[in-house]
Chain A
Amino acid sequence: MSAAPAPPLPLPQRLVPTAVVFLVRGRDGGYAASYRRFLDSYRTHPAGLPHDLVLLCKGFADPADQARVEADFAGLSSRTLTVGDEGFDLGAYREAARRLDHERVLFLNGWSEILSEDWLLKLTLNLDRPGIGLVGCTGCYEVLRIDRRFGPFPNPHVRSNGFLMDRGLFLEAIGERPIGTKLDAFLIESGPDSITRRVVGRGLGALLVGRDGRGFPPRLWPRSRTFRLGLRDNLMVADNQTRAAAGWSWRVLTRVQTQTWGRYLAELPPAGLDGPLA
């Protein structure tokens, strides 16, 4: 069987200083196996572009545990940032973004697993396209029915794992909003004033980038074969939620797919869903 690499992708005209921030939370059960899975995938799949890998640590009650993580990342990560355990993942990302000085930031949570070579290059090439402000590996139309502030359907939003954007724009988009509860974090990710909506509100587009390197505008997200879409064969970065789908029965998968994408599994959404890209 062939193990031929893909033909090389063109490099961007300008190499933008980029921090790839990988979050490890000591209080998460199984965090060690998770970050080792990430490290294996990081070593296996070349990023395609130079970058700084930044280890972002939080929630370690025992400094020795954190030290072990840092030791495993030695030689790969350029620096370690330690933040408080409050604020969930987005709060940690915000704090990291404040402390970094890179032009762009890519955030990966501790459950992430890279599935494709040239992952950073594919994301970057799409972010370099005129009028694009945000690219991510997963997104969806789902409306969380946990609070009436969420809605209406469809609610296109890039998920808060595996997304790349301008650092300054990220800090503007997340703002100074409190992230005291999980609901606060959900609202920032997928609420009516989500990061995605703030980016779009600035006249910029948001794309999902698949393993094939294609950047899908929101209208075509149901065709991307990424998050909660069939066997997810175009997914570039997996996480705990995408892996959970591997164990779902057909019945559960159908229900979740429908809940996530609705009738747009069959129909083409209206052009307006692409926002500034329409």
Chain B
Amino acid sequence: MFGTGLGRLAAHPALAATKRRAKGLLLAASERALGPQQLRGEIDSGAAYSLTIPGLAGPYLLTRGPVSVGGWALDLRGGRPLPVRGRVGRVAMAAETIERADIQAAFAGMADLPVRCGLSLEGTARQGPSLLQVEAEREPGDWRTLFRGLVLCLDSDLGRFERGGLWRYREWRLREAEVAAADAEGQRGYAAMVGGRPSITAIVLGERNADATHASLAAQTFPACETLTVPGGAADLDAALRAAQGDYTLPLAAGDRLTPDALYTLAAACRAEPGLDLVYADEEGDGDGDDPVPFFKPGWSPDTLESVPYLGSPTLYRTAALRGLEAPAGLYDLALRFTEAPRTVKHLGRVLCRRPTTPTAPGETGPDMAALAGRLARTGRTGEIRPIAPGLRCYISDIRPAEPGPLVSVVIPTAGRELTVGGRRLDLVLDCVRGIRDRSTYRNVEIVVVYNPDIAPAKLEALAALGCRTVLYREPAFNVAAKLNLGAAAATGEMLLLLNDDVDIISPDWIERLLAQATKPHVGAVGAKLLYPDGTVQHAGVVALHGNPNHVRRGYPDGDRGYVFAAAAARNYGAVTGAVMMTRADLYSRVGGYSEEFPIHFNDVDYCYKLRRLGLHIVLEPAARLFHFESASRKPSIHPEELALFQERWPEDLIDDPFYPNGVFATAPPHAEIFLHAGTGVR
């Protein structure tokens, strides 16, 4: 697949030249931009620092003007904050020390720090590139550099109307708060007009910081009809759920703080779509720095929910639909149990809650794993649950496959080519098949190879010797969709595994991993994590970006966990690549297989979209890992007519991607870092 990369800027041709220059800068910089927002280090053995620079991506900072630096720089032996200064270009930043009780507490026992031990630097960048430098004074006159980096200010006027560009989360929040404040009276009027219906019961679980939760409930423009306080926490959750009288129930953990318009937003969504059973919205968490860390959630992702308790807060449940549930042990257990029945679920792309922690922060995994174990048992699966790392609330389920397991027909279209990779000469299709036979642990497999007339007879004999069935594709024009359809028609298995010949197996249990997802009734297709020969990511899901599909997180290291574990465990996406795709044979037939109007590109994404139109879900299973040499056997090319047809066929699906909201994530390239685009209006 090839994205145009121009994205939304192409909407203003009059400024195309300026935009292309800016875009070029951004793209060039973003290729290097894979860094965190926080910088930590030691100045010497007795002094250390931690800087938070919102908007920082690797060595550069993107901004519309404001530049701010937070964090701390401390003389830990002396128990004092170090004087800090900053400069953007030639202009000094305003510096002050601020109260940071959290930092003071963090170093208790190591250093006796005053509560005013945090640092804050504020400055403004001028249009274009500038140098940002932050220094700390270790001893009088002895200034040490903590950070030097490029600031790229691209303010306004990328278009007559668009104030397009990249906002820091702080600015974005302020804008949202400004709108909410301007609308507060209207929201209160709405609540009165609708008689407070649908009514919402709020449940506050636990005691720690519950006051903050109650305060946020009291500040709602659309009041809850009742608030149930459950000091005992999750242990008493069931009783509270049964006592709820509202049309909808909103369980909150003590410490969760709703925005003043949260209940209004939830209630209005339920009034607009009366059939909703579950509504959830985005959240932000108290991070290490000054700014909260947003969690922009995907649209309804039932399989992601089995990896990460991503629904978080706020999550609203239809009260009547809660009545039949067995007592949940906690909020994650509640979400899993509730969604085991078919439900109408809606995601609201608004940050409506602030939480004391972020989803990637270390936490208790025991209750989560118990909840997941219950989910497996209730859905007829057996296996072990384990976190991806100790203390991280992201889980991998090692499902024990049924014996003997369904017959998997591996369908491989081949041109019969050879390739040199890393000094090794590969016969693509033969090596691929040998990998399946020799290194894959799943045995109930048939292999169907679809070949061209010019294949060497010896190769056909070798394929036969490896137990493959072979099917001749006679058409002169290259059409991989047609070849796959031909192979699928010849296949006899319950499951189809569409496979490029330019792949090499990494994880021996890759087929079992794919099966564990593909055999779920609601799943339409499953893809694998694919790596380039150098070990970087080639495929970890396909997202729609301003009209074009593309691979998310391409080029990242294999161990990268992705945005909130998106690359670490099973996750729903809009599509996966057909280079390795498992799907049920009956589904393949039902939707007419791959659309042959897409001979080269987009046929896999088109297939996934057809499945989604049936209400099925697409899953990326990162535990199934293979190398992919990607078009190495063919010269890559762009076919604009295929893209045009694809966009014509799926216009609304390409407006935005529910699994990768274009308004909040980078789109050029789609590396899933937060880039808050101003005003596409799609959200």
Contacts and interface: CB of A to CB of B under 8 A. Distances in A.
Interface of A: 1-10, 116-117, 125-126, 129, 210-217, 219-220, 222-223, 229-231, 233-234, 246-251, 253-255, 257-259, 261-268, 271
Given A6-B270, A213-B194, A220-B186, A250 B199 contact: no
Contacts of B336: none
Contact of B680 (A8, A211, A265): A265
Given A210-B272, A230-B682, A263 B186 contact: no
Given A262-B161, A268-B178, A255 B194 contact: no
A213 B222 CA distance: 14
B406 interface: no
Contact of A117 (B193, B274, B320, B683): B274
A116 B547 contact: no
User: Which of B10, B194, B269 has most chain A Cβ within 10 Å?
Assistant: B194
21 contacts: A1-B275, A1-B343, A2-B276, A2-B277, A2-B344, A6-B274, A7-B247, A9-B193, A9-B195, A10-B193, A117-B274, A212-B268, A219-B182, A223-B183, A234-B272, A250-B651, A251-B10, A261-B681, A262-B161, A266-B163, A268-B178
A248 B681 CA distance: 15
Contacts of A263: 161-163, 679
Given A220-B182, A261-B681, A263-B679, A6 B271 contact: yes
User: Which of A6, A222, A234 has most chain B Cβ within 10 Å?
Assistant: A6
Contact of A265 (B193, B547, B681): B681
Contacts of A233: 272-273
8 A-B pairs closest in CB distance: A266-B679, A265-B679, A250-B547, A6-B274, A7-B197, A262-B161, A212-B272, A266-B678
Nearest to A153: B161
A181 B284 CA distance: 54
Contacts, number: 149
B318 interface: yes
B318 A254 contact: no
Given A3-B275, A233-B272, A266-B679, A251 B652 contact: no
Interface residues of B, number: 54
B458 interface: no
B679 A230 contact: no
Contact of B682 (A214, A231, A247): A231
A243 to B, nearest CB: 12
B189 interface: yes
B175 A268 contact: yes
A261 B342 CA distance: 38
Contacts of A255: 11
Contact of A258 (B159, B198, B654): B159
B651 A248 contact: yes
Nearest to A220: B183
A251 B194 contact: no
A6 B647 contact: no
A3 to B, nearest CB: 6
B655 interface: yes
